[in-house]
């Protein structure tokens, strides 16, 4: 692997040094990454519909490996990443991809972004090999599986909170903007639009199930096909019975952009909250001005603070101005957590070396890692990241559920919540006279 | 009334998009008994070539669209010479070409992925704005797609029925050997059919991406719908496939409104099963003889 970063440059330029990188440097001492390489793997959707994210997951891991190697790797052993394509990310494909990483390259850890599917299939391959698995499937299924047999699934970690936090987080966010009088609901109706699939369904179901507690009634619960570019029939229903809030948990950027373009032909006085898609630059490129005012949130993404912005700079410098650092940070974050834990544990273990990898897993469980997306700390028993402010009320102990709004489609979205990370105030969308 | 018009407009837009992507597929099957599984990838290529011509080369839209159509037509000719022609005389041509064109599609999609990257891109060929009619907003883009579909289908129908080359295509479709004995250059006809299909795929890719976005795999869904429409209409029937495309577009929109979007594809497949029980060769298909 071409290392583009040396130790001196990294020390000079990285705001990380004070935190996570410092831990690694402390463990590595004066070691330089000149020993036998440690193979690590990633199974990502490098082709097919999620390739835009898959390429960023690869980039995130590449950047992390370069930076970690510049600091001496893991106890003097450089990291050597290998990649397998998960295409449409069905469970069978994901499992086969991870199995190949283990069989062909003998990877000590698999460090992914997300793969769709059940979110609880790859863990068995990992458990059989006795290695470490860091992923961002953002799935409640992960925690349920790990909790069912913690000894077997000792090495599987979800480095972000599960998708259900989106639902509860949204309802609390809406209450907060009502409480501070920046939004006043014209009625109690909420329309939910989702796509088939565990992820979108779980979020939609959580919103639906919790809505009544916040005084909302669900006026439309519509499941759409993937992909969907013609929104006429769905918009006709919305326009017949305009809700105060439209919640779209379908996540394809292009489909969501078309929703906004067609919605803006004859908008209803409704807040529009979307899931994931608006975080991708192409959403703004395709929707153009129709993107202005859209709200969205993510439970994992780079913050707009000193560390996050510095990461964005390094990432775009390495992979180009249009590179998606918010996707890339997922595997970047996971790689750093694993590398620090492995260094603190005295090294990582190859497949079959459960004993050493259990030590690595112990260190991961005890870490509080402040990365570019906030704090990662794992919930005991289920080994997924704590959510802030839903799961913990201390921002230094949980990963922030970030709410963003596109206020000017020509620039980056504005981070509006939670405290203390928010950088801008919520604004009523332009179609609501904002 | 407003809602009915809105549903009709949505359905016709869907149907028009389906019609353009289906016509090329039906034409090739009608003439050659060749199910071109790379049609979806050629469709995506057309969309990307238009994007490249307009944003990369800075060409005006009509020139960029023409460029995309010509290149995709050339791809069709290349597929004939490199893939289809060597198999034409072989046993089980229909099965072999089916598999081979899946491979062509994978290659084309990979080329697009390498050349343009995986991020969705906006199609620059678009007509902004909308028309208010009968209480319904009709985007100019949708009207343009409908207009383009009508024009293309009319031109294709005219070419097949009234021109010398159209007669040659129909003669070849009826009986290849007899057409050859009458002096029709079969190879030229097949190459032309694939070129026309490639050009139609390009137009289809541009129109579809103008309502969604450019993605390397964007052809997969239209290809699936086109195949379903071909089966409903009767494989190889071009006019039948256009009628079926418009019907299915409106059917989908109505089902989406009345029952919910999630039921539209399932009910569409049930409709296909019923049609095939009722008419195994499709609504407009024939057991033997003339197609096109």
Chosen for mutation from B107, B108, B114, B119 (greatest number of chain A CBs closer than 10 Å) is: B119
**Strand partners for A134:** A111, A157
The 3-class secondary structure across B248-291, one letter per residue, is HHHHHHHHHHHCCCHHHHHHHHHHHHHHHHHCCCCCCCCCCCCC
CATH of the domain at A342: 3.40.50.2300
Using DSSP, state whether A367 is helix, strand or coil. Answer: coil
The 3-class secondary structure across A250-300, one letter per residue, is CCCHHHHHHHHHHHCCCCCCCEEEEECHHHCHHHHHHHHHHHCCCEEEECC
Counted across chains A and B, CB pairs separated by less than 8 A come out at: 100
Looking at the structure, do residues A262 and A390 belong to the same domain, yes or no? no
Q: Please check whether residue B268 lies inside any domain of the structure.
A: no
Query: Do residues A303 and A274 lie in contact, with contact meaning Cβ atoms separated by under 8 Å?
Result: no
Of A47, A196, A257, the CB nearest to B113: A47
CA distance B211 to B123: 8
Peptide bond into A259 cis (omega under 30): no
Residues of A in contact with B211 (CB under 8 A): 229-230, 258
Looking at the structure, do residues A203 and A145 belong to the same domain, yes or no? no
Q: Please check whether residue B292 lies inside any domain of the structure.
A: no
Q: Please check whether residue A312 lies inside any domain of the structure.
A: yes
* pLDDT band, residue A275 (cuts 50/70/90): confident
CA distance A109 to A343: 13
Q: Please check whether residue B7 lies inside any domain of the structure.
A: no
Query: Helix, strand, coil % (nearest 5) of chain B?
Result: 75, 5, 20
**How distant is the Cα of A195 from the closest Cα of chain B, in angstroms?**
8
**How distant is the Cα of A166 from the closest Cα of chain B, in angstroms?**
23
Contact B213 A282 (CB under 8 A): yes
Query: Do residues B207 and B148 lie in contact, with contact meaning Cβ atoms separated by under 8 Å?
Result: yes
Confidence (pLDDT) at B127: 87
How many Cβ atoms from other residues are within 10 Å of residue B268's Cβ? 17
Contact A230 B110 (CB under 8 A): no
Confidence (pLDDT) at A2: 46
Looking at the structure, do residues A294 and A307 belong to the same domain, yes or no? no
**How distant is the Cα of A383 from the closest Cα of chain B, in angstroms?**
32
Contact A224 B262 (CB under 8 A): yes
Looking at the structure, do residues A314 and A377 belong to the same domain, yes or no? yes
**How distant is the Cα of B10 from the closest Cα of chain A, in angstroms?**
6
Q: Please check whether residue B225 lies inside any domain of the structure.
A: no
Per-residue pLDDT of chain B (292 residues; tens, 9 = 90+): 578 888 898 899 999 999 998 999 989 998 898 999 999 999 999 999 999 999 999 999 999 999 999 999 999 999 999 999 999 888 889 999 999 999 999 999 999 999 998 888 899 998 888 888 877 778 888 899 999 999 999 999 899 889 999 999 999 988 888 999 999 999 999 999 999 999 999 999 999 999 888 999 999 999 999 999 988 888 777 888 889 999 999 999 999 999 988 898 999 999 989 988 998 888 887 655 444 5
Q: Please check whether residue B27 lies inside any domain of the structure.
A: yes
CA distance B236 to B31: 7
Looking at the structure, do residues A256 and A310 belong to the same domain, yes or no? no
Instruction: Find the helix or strand (DSSP H, E) in which A79 lies.
Output: strand A79-85
Of A222, A266, A322, the CB nearest to B260: A222
Burial class of residue A124 (count of CB atoms within 10 Å of its CB; 0-12, 13-18, 19+): middle
Looking at the structure, do residues A270 and A287 belong to the same domain, yes or no? yes
Looking at the structure, do residues A123 and A239 belong to the same domain, yes or no? no
**Predicted confidence (pLDDT) per residue in A190-231, tens digit:** 999 999 888 899 999 999 999 999 999 999 999 998 888 789
Confidence (pLDDT) at A3: 47
Alpha helix ranges (H) inside A264-407: 281-287, 306-319, 325-344, 354-366
Query: Do residues A329 and A318 lie in contact, with contact meaning Cβ atoms separated by under 8 Å?
Result: no
Number of domains within chain B: 1
Of B109, B139, B212, the CB nearest to A265: B139
Q: Please check whether residue B37 lies inside any domain of the structure.
A: yes
Q: Please check whether residue A292 lies inside any domain of the structure.
A: yes
CA distance A299 to A403: 9
**How distant is the Cα of B3 from the closest Cα of chain A, in angstroms?**
6
**Highest mean pLDDT: which of A127-131, A411-415, B161-165, B267-271?**
A127-131
Residues A90-99 have a mean pLDDT of 96
Looking at the structure, do residues A32 and A68 belong to the same domain, yes or no? yes
Domain extent for B208: 22-218
Of B13, B14, B221, the CB nearest to A227: B221
**How distant is the Cα of A55 from the closest Cα of chain B, in angstroms?**
8
Number of residues that this document lists for chain B: 292
Residues of B in contact with A233 (CB under 8 A): 6-7, 10, 253, 256-257, 261
Of B10, B257, B262, the CB nearest to A223: B262
Contact B212 A258 (CB under 8 A): yes
CA quadruple A151, A155, A161, A165: dihedral positive or negative?
negative
Looking at the structure, do residues A132 and A179 belong to the same domain, yes or no? no
Query: Do residues A280 and A51 lie in contact, with contact meaning Cβ atoms separated by under 8 Å?
Result: no
Instruction: Write down the residue that tokens 């069709």 correspond to.
Output: B76
Instruction: Give φ, ψ of A251 to 5 degrees.
Output: -125, 5
Number of domains within chain A: 2
| Strand arrangement, sheet containing A79-85 | A79-85, A38-44, A109-111, A132-135, A156-158
Closest chain B CA to residue A46: B118
Query: Do residues A127 and A157 lie in contact, with contact meaning Cβ atoms separated by under 8 Å?
Result: no
The 3-class secondary structure across A162-191, one letter per residue, is CCHHHHHHHHHHHHHHHHCCCCCCCCCEEE
**How distant is the Cα of B225 from the closest Cα of chain A, in angstroms?**
12
Residues A368-373 have a mean pLDDT of 95
Chosen for mutation from A47, A192, A233 (greatest number of chain B CBs closer than 10 Å) is: A233
Looking at the structure, do residues A122 and A17 belong to the same domain, yes or no? yes
Residues of A in contact with B256 (CB under 8 A): 233-234
Looking at the structure, do residues A367 and A405 belong to the same domain, yes or no? no
How many Cβ atoms from other residues are within 10 Å of residue A279's Cβ? 23
Across A377-386, b (16+ Cβ under 10 Å) vs e yields bbbeebbbbb
Query: Do residues B234 and B284 lie in contact, with contact meaning Cβ atoms separated by under 8 Å?
Result: yes
CA distance A400 to A425: 17
Q: Please check whether residue B281 lies inside any domain of the structure.
A: no
Confidence (pLDDT) at B283: 86
Contact A230 B10 (CB under 8 A): yes
Q: Please check whether residue B1 lies inside any domain of the structure.
A: no
Looking at the structure, do residues A274 and A405 belong to the same domain, yes or no? yes
Closest chain B CA to residue A197: B262
Query: Do residues A43 and A58 lie in contact, with contact meaning Cβ atoms separated by under 8 Å?
Result: no
Residues of A in contact with B119 (CB under 8 A): 52, 280-282, 322, 324
- Taking 60 as the threshold, does the pLDDT of residue A320 lie above it? yes
ipTM of the complex: 0.82
Residues A115-144 have a mean pLDDT of 94
Closest chain A CA to residue B214: A254
* pLDDT band, residue A1 (cuts 50/70/90): very low
Q: If interface means Cβ-Cβ distance under 8 Å, which residues of chain B face chain A?
A: 3, 6-7, 9-10, 13-14, 109-110, 113, 117-122, 130, 137, 139, 208, 211-213, 215-217, 221, 253, 256-257, 260-262, 264-265
Contact A281 B117 (CB under 8 A): no
Domain extent for A206: 166-298+401-432
**Predicted confidence (pLDDT) per residue in A250-262, tens digit:** 988 888 998 999 9
Q: DSSP labels for B179-234?
A: HHHTT--HHHHHHHHHHHHHHHHHHHHHHHHHHS-B-TTTTHHHHHHHHHHHHHH-
Q: Please check whether residue A231 lies inside any domain of the structure.
A: yes
Q: Please check whether residue A370 lies inside any domain of the structure.
A: yes
Closest chain B CA to residue A231: B10
Q: Please check whether residue A1 lies inside any domain of the structure.
A: no
Q: Please check whether residue A2 lies inside any domain of the structure.
A: no
Q: Please check whether residue A408 lies inside any domain of the structure.
A: yes
């Amino acid at each position: 692997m071409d290392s583009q970063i040396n130790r001196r440059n990294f020390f000079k330029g990285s705001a990380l040094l004070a935190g996570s990188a410092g831990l690694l440097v402390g463990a590595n001492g004066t070691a330089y990454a000149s020993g036998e390489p440690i193979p690590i793997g990633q199974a990502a959707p490098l082709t097919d519909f999620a390739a835009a994210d898959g390429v960023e997951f690869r980039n995130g891991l590449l950047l992390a490996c370069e930076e970690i190697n510049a600091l001496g790797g893991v106890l003097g052993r450089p990291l050597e990443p290998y990649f397998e394509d998960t295409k449409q990310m069905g469970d069978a494909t994901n499992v086969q991809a991870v199995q190949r990483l283990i069989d062909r390259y003998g990877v000590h850890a698999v460090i992914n972004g997300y793969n769709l599917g059940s979110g609880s299939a790859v863990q068995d391959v990992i458990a059989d090999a006795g290695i470490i698995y860091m992923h961002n499937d953002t799935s409640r299924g992960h925690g349920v599986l790990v909790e069912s047999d913690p000894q077997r699934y000792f090495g599987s970690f979800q480095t972000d909170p599960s998708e259900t936090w989106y639902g509860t987080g949204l309802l609390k966010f809406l209450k907060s903007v009502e409480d501070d009088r920046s939004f006043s609901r014209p009625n109690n109706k909420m329309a939910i639009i989702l796509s088939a699939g565990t992820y979108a369904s779980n979020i939609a179901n959580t919103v639906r199930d919790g809505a009544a507690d916040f005084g909302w009634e669900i006026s439309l619960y519509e499941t759409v096909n993937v992909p969907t570019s013609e929104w006429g029939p769905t918009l006709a229903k919305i326009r017949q019975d305009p809700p105060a809030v439209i919640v779209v948990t379908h996540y394809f950027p292009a489909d969501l952009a078309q929703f906004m373009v067609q919605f803006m032909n004859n908008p209803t006085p409704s807040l529009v909250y979307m899931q994931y898609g608006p975080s991708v630059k192409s959403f703004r490129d395709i929707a153009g001005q129709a993107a202005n005012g859209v709200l969205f949130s993510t439970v994992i993404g780079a913050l707009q603070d000193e560390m996050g912005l510095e990461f964005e700079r390094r990432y775009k410098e390495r992979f180009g101005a249009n590179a998606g650092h918010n996707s890339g940070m997922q595997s970047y974050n996971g790689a750093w957590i694993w590398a620090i834990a492995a260094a603190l544990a005295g090294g990582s273990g190859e497949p079959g070396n459960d004993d050493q990898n259990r030590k690595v897993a112990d260190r991961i469980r005890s870490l509080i890692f402040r990365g570019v997306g906030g704090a990662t700390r794992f919930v005991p028993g289920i080994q997924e990241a704590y959510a802030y402010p839903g799961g913990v009320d201390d921002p230094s102990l949980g990963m922030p559920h970030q709410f963003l709004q596109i206020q000017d489609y020509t620039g980056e979205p504005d981070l509006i919540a939670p405290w203390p990370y928010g950088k801008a105030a919520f604004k009523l969308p332009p179609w609501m006279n904002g | 009334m407003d809602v009915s018009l809105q549903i009709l407009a949505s359905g016709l837009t869907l149907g028009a998009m389906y019609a353009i992507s289906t016509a090329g597929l039906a034409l090739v099957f009608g003439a050659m008994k060749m199910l071109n599984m790379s049609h979806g990838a050629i469709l995506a290529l057309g969309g990307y070539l238009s994007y490249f011509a307009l944003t990369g080369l800075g060409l005006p839209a009509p020139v960029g669209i023409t460029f995309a159509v010509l290149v995709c037509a050339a791809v069709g000719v290349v597929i004939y010479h490199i893939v289809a022609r060597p198999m034409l005389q072989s046993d089980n041509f229909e099965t072999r070409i089916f598999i081979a064109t899946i491979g062509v599609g994978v290659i084309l999609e990979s080329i697009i992925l390498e050349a343009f990257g995986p991020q969705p891109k906006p199609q620059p060929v678009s007509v902004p704005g909308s028309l208010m009619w009968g209480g319904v907003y009709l985007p100019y883009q949708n009207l343009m797609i409908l207009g383009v579909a009508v024009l293309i289908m009319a031109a294709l129908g005219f070419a097949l029925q009234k021109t010398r080359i159209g007669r040659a295509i129909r003669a070849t479709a009826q009986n290849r050997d007899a057409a050859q004995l009458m002096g029709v250059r079969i190879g030229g006809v097949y190459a032309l059919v694939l070129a026309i299909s490639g050009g139609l795929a390009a137009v289809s890719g541009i129109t579809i991406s103008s309502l969604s976005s450019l993605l390397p795999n964007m052809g997969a869904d239209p290809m699936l719908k086109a195949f379903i429409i071909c089966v409903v209409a009767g494989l190889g029937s071009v006019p039948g496939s256009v009628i079926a495309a418009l019907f299915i577009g409106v059917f989908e929109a109505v089902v989406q409104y009345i029952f919910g979007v999630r039921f539209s594809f399932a009910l569409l497949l049930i409709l296909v099963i019923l049609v095939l029980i009722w008419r195994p060769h499709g609504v407009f298909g024939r057991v033997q003889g003339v197609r096109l």
